[in-house]
Amino acid sequence: MADVTIRTLTRAARFSVRCGEADRTAAAEALGVPLIGTIGAIAVAGPRRSLCLGPDEWIVAAPLEDGPAMTAAFAASPAVGSLVEVTNRDVTFAITGPGGEELLAHGCPRDLSKLAPGRGVRTVFDGVSVVLWRFDDRFEMTVWRSYVPFVEALLSAAAREMQAA
């Protein structure tokens, strides 16, 4: 069966960003990463990235040490909107290897073959709300911290099933 690796990523600064079209450019400049207005689009600027989850909603991730400066820059910007730090709320798993899509299919009802690299979605994994990012070489699944033991057990069980097949 196809190889797959699951690992927990190091903690990152994470923000939920909400703003209207008129304020998107100023918010993006303050955060140091584009806020693309297309739902599902991922933008990357160095180690910072954003994912558009809705018409006025993004999740932004950056190195942990960048968090305070990003918060200050947003507060000082002319952007009207909200920036909510959710760093401690989330944990992210990286799923790599040729079996990643198959592994996630064990709990995700979406057809992940239609989720192109550079795209992301808010979806569910066995009933748990998650944010799924797809890159060329991996998936990343962000889940609320309280669900981590449950999701981690499901991912491990699916990986064992795939190895046994």
Closest by CA position to 42, among listed 61, 24, 23 = 61
Distances 165 to 1, 3, 36, 104, 153 between C-alpha atoms, Å:
6, 12, 41, 16, 18
Q: Is 60 helix (H, G, I), strand (E, B) or coil?
A: strand
Query: Which residues, including other chains, have CB under 8 Å from residue 29's CB and lie 6 or more apart?
Result: 77
What percentage of the chain reaches a pLDDT higher than 70? 99
- Average the pLDDT over 49-58 and give the result: 97
Q: How far apart are the first and last CA of the chain?
A: 6
For the chain, which residues make up each domain, given as ranges?
Answer: 12-85, 89-164
The pLDDT tens digits of the residues spanning 89-100 come to 999 999 999 999
CATH (residue range 12-85)? 3.30.70.1520
The pLDDT tens digits of the residues spanning 14-48 come to 999 999 999 999 999 999 999 999 999 999 999 99
CA 95/CA 130 separation, integer angstroms? 14
Provide the CATH topology of domain 89-164.
Gyrase A; domain 2 (3.30.1360)
The pLDDT tens digits of the residues spanning 68-84 come to 999 999 999 999 999 99
